């Protein structure tokens, strides 16, 4: 009888150990701490275009009431636009438009549904290409060329006017000279005619 009881006790112990092991396997994921899985922009990223938002994805669902996120630029100036938006394991934060070139720091503090807190800071850099000098100077060059063309046209007009005035004076002077010659010729001819008649 004692042998049977011993076998039953061993079997019960084995069953209990198996049950506890199974329960621990199911409980382990639930007790695991939340952690950051990915971020956009990525940590230490160098961007050629200014981002319009940042997003963080975690391994467990977030508690909206206990999620904090900040993005600051130079002189610790905040560049967030509005409040963060939470969708399950992801939090998104809109940014002010047209961020200038420079380094930005993203800080977050989130609490998962099991109460575990995760906080950290990472950075990204905006390094957008500057506007092309030729493109930027095109309006100024166009205005300069237009002004030069206008000045050239005015100078040409003045030159034509001056040339026309000089030509006019030459014509008037020539006409007066011709009239003088004609008048002189007529006067001489009359004198000669009068002299011959008197003789």
Q: Where are the domains of the chain?
A: 1-31, 32-126
User: Could you give the CA distance from residue 105 to residue 52 in angstroms, rounded to a whole number?
Assistant: 15
How confident is the model over 100-132, as pLDDT tens digits?
A: 999 999 999 999 878 889 999 999 999 998 765
Strands across the sheet with 85-87, in order? 36-40, 53-58, 90-94, 85-87
- What is 32-126's CATH number? 2.60.40.1220
Lookup: tokens for 22? 């199974």
Separation CA 168–CA 170 (nearest Å)? 5
What is the per-residue pLDDT for 174?
63
Per-residue model confidence (pLDDT) at position 115: 85
Residues lower than pLDDT 50 in the chain: 5, 8, 10, 16-17, 19-20, 22-30, 135-137
């Amino acid at each position: 009888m004692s042998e049977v009881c011993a076998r039953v006790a061993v079997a019960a112990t084995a069953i209990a150990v198996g049950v506890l092991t199974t329960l621990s396997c199911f409980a382990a994921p639930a007790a695991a701490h939340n952690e950051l899985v990915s971020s956009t922009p990525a940590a230490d990223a160098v961007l050629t275009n200014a981002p319009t938002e940042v997003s963080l994805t975690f391994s467990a669902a977030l508690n909206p009431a206990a999620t904090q996120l900040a993005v600051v630029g130079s002189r610790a100036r905040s560049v967030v636009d509005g409040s963060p938006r939470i969708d399950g394991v992801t939090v998104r934060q809109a940014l002010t438009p047209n961020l200038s070139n420079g380094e930005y720091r993203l800080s977050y503090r989130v609490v998962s549904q099991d109460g575990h807190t995760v906080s950290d800071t990472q950075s990204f850099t905006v390094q957008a290409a500057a506007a092309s000098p030729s493109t930027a100077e095109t309006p100024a060059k166009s205005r300069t060329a237009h002004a030069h063309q206008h000045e050239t046209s005015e100078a040409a007009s003045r030159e034509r006017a001056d040339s026309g005035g000089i030509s006019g004076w030459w014509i008037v002077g020539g006409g007066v000279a011709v009239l003088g010659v004609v008048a002189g010729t007529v006067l001489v001819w009359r004198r000669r005619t009068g002299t011959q008649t008197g003789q």
